[in-house]
Amino acid sequence: MPKTMPTRPRFATRALLLHLATVTLVVALCTGVYLLLTVQQLRAEAESTALGIARTLAEDPQVRAEVARISLSESAPDARDLRSGDLQRIASDVTSRTGALFVVVTDDNGIRLAHPTPSRIGEEVSTPYEEVLAGAEVVDWQTGTLGESARAKVPVRDEAGTPVGEVSVGFERSGVFDDLPPLLTVIGGTAAGALALALLAFLLLRRRWERLTLGVQPEELVALVQNQTAVLDGVDDGVIAVDTRGVVRVSNAAADRLLGLDDPVGRPLDGLGLPAAVLDAMTGALTRASTIVGDRMLYLDSRPVVRDGHALGDVLIVRDRTDLVALTERLETVRTMTAALRVQRHEFANRMHVAAGLIDADRVSDARAFLGELVERGPVAFPVAGLDLLGDPFLHAFLGAKGVEAGERGVDLRIAEDTQLIGNVTAAEDVAAVLGNLIDNAVAAAVSGVRTPRWVEVAVLDDGDALVFTVSDSGPGLSDIDPLSPRPREEDAADGVHGHGIGLPLSTEIARRSGGDLWVIDSGGPDSGAVFAARIGGAVDASPHDQKENT
């Protein structure tokens, strides 16, 4: 059987144990340092107290005189007399009043002149005394006949200031540290309180942490960051995420490039200078929309982000549809031309049947006349008045096909009498996209109007290498909304007329890319329809048609 891997504790548990271990170590270190300082302070206090008592006793006139007298005597001091003498009485009184372990007085030979144990009077002290008799004060912890103690030794001087003996005062070790057990209790309680407070603080911190991270563990956060980086940097679509306060939290490189952003993460959405179209989509006013930002046609898809019932913000997906729309325009041009060729083929086939019928009926002269008229007028008669004013074959076929489509909707397409085009159209795709959009909008406006007859008029002029054309209609005119301004459009909404969708802003961008422009000459009203004009630079070869045909 395969071995199962042991499950690791959750990060919160590991962090709790590490937190408690750290706090315990800190508390232990602080407690140890505090205890060390306290012991040192108690030792210093005991030594200082012993030194003070010893100094006071060594300065006592009676003690100095008695010790000097005994030290100057040539005979050894009598122990029996010393036990009932003044020095023993004074030492006993000081011992009882101060709680000292002992008060010992010696002569210049280290013989005890006073001692808590009378039987030891007259004997030499068990600890060194030479340094004291040399005039120095000694404070130390030493072990004598009464055990270890904190003791201070002070020389007793005669009237001339010469050391003639010593006074030794000591405090028992257990007496010095009598206050240590209660202090340890206080320290232990403080340490326990610190640990309890640390535990409570971490529990609150963990609760706050899990609420902020929605219960996601750090290992999962690492995986999320890795996945997010891989996904965001691995797609061509732009992704922008904002929180509930409108602050950008995620923006990949594609979004920065498409929307012209520079390090937007952490900044409010309103302060990025984004177009109103994008803001409307980002705030949820439009869930799915298309708009133009700069020279790019963008698809915007906004979705709210919710986890465990909590709203986290919104995510906007930005897709670049410029190439797709351009391809659509090209396909539309091909479709229009295909329709024109189909009509042309059908009409030409009909005429060939007529010519063949005349020949079959032996009406050769009529057939010749019919074919001559066909050569003179062209193979197809498009329902566009004034179409013969256009010598360019592309515009002739394109406007003829548009005339057929307009006629199917009950609208007459006509060419204005002031049309004059000397050169040939070279930028067929841009011209078809812009002119075709204007004609389609004009036909839709004419159909929606109440005036009859319904018509659309196109005027074409060349200006050097630029192509200039105007499109007017019999529709109701424009609304108050600027039809050329880029605005978001619901994907499910049907295209309206005169810029209620995205055609006119896109056509404007196409015209401006070539150095031209698109503008409104007349917005129209109750008595007239709208008039649009466009200029496309570099769209015309200035060579005359007949010269092109003869070369």
pLDDT band at residue 377 using 50, 70 and 90 as cut-offs: low
CB count in 10 Å sphere of residue 109 = 14
Task: Name the percent of the chain lying above pLDDT 70.
Answer: 79
Domain extent listing, the chain: 13-180, 223-320, 382-550
Residue 300, φ and ψ in degrees, nearest 5: -115, 130
Do residues 386 and 427 touch, judged by C-beta distance below 8 A? Answer: no
- Summarize pLDDT for 104-156 with one digit per residue, the tens: 888 888 888 888 888 888 888 878 888 888 888 888 776 766 666 777 888 98
Whole-angstrom distance between the N-terminal and C-terminal Cα of the chain? Answer: 89
In this prediction, residues 41-47 reach a mean pLDDT of 77
* Residue-level pLDDT at 482: 58
Minimal CA–CA distance to 152: which of 262, 43, 279, 273? 43
Do residues 531 and 522 touch, judged by C-beta distance below 8 A? Answer: yes
- Summarize pLDDT for 498-511 with one digit per residue, the tens: 444 567 777 888 88
Among 203-217, 263-277, 488-502, the minimum mean pLDDT is found in: 488-502
* Residue-level pLDDT at 495: 44
In this prediction, residues 37-56 reach a mean pLDDT of 81
pTM score, two decimals? Answer: 0.49
Residue 239 and residue 162: Cα distance in Å, rounded?
97
Indicate if 223-320 has the same CATH topology as 13-180.
yes
Q: Which distant-in-sequence residues (6+ apart) come within 8 Å of 44 by Cβ?
A: none
Strands (E), 308-454: 310-320, 384-385, 412-415, 424-425
Query: Has domain 223-320 been given CATH number 3.40.50.2000?
Result: no
In this prediction, residues 299-314 reach a mean pLDDT of 78
**Bigger pLDDT: 98 or 538?**
538
Max mean pLDDT among 151-165, 396-410, 455-469 falls in 455-469
Do residues 368 and 388 touch, judged by C-beta distance below 8 A? Answer: no
CATH number for the domain whose boundaries are 13-180: 3.30.450.20
Number of H helices, E strands in the chain: 16, 19
In this prediction, residues 292-319 reach a mean pLDDT of 76
Residue 246 and residue 313: Cα distance in Å, rounded?
8
User: Does residue 469 surpass a pLDDT of 90?
Assistant: yes
* Residue-level pLDDT at 337: 67
* Residue-level pLDDT at 534: 94
**Bigger pLDDT: 8 or 363?**
363
* Residue-level pLDDT at 309: 72
* Residue-level pLDDT at 454: 92
In this prediction, residues 81-96 reach a mean pLDDT of 84
Opening angle at CA 125, ends 124 and 127, nearest 5: 140
pLDDT band at residue 373 using 50, 70 and 90 as cut-offs: confident
* Residue-level pLDDT at 179: 64
Q: In one letter, which amino acid is 57? A: L
**Bigger pLDDT: 3 or 363?**
363
How distant is the alpha carbon of residue 354 from its chain centre? 77
**Bigger pLDDT: 175 or 111?**
111
Q: Which distant-in-sequence residues (6+ apart) come within 8 Å of 275 by Cβ?
A: 291, 293, 486
Length of the chain: 551
Question: Which CATH homologous superfamily contains domain 382-550?
Answer: Histidine kinase-like ATPase, C-terminal domain (3.30.565.10)
User: Does residue 535 surpass a pLDDT of 90?
Assistant: yes
- The helix (H) or strand (E) run that includes residue 156 is strand 147-157
In this prediction, residues 503-530 reach a mean pLDDT of 84
In this prediction, residues 300-317 reach a mean pLDDT of 78
* Residue-level pLDDT at 491: 47
- Summarize pLDDT for 433-457 with one digit per residue, the tens: 889 889 989 999 899 888 888 999 9
Between strands 412-415 and 147-157, the pairing is unpaired
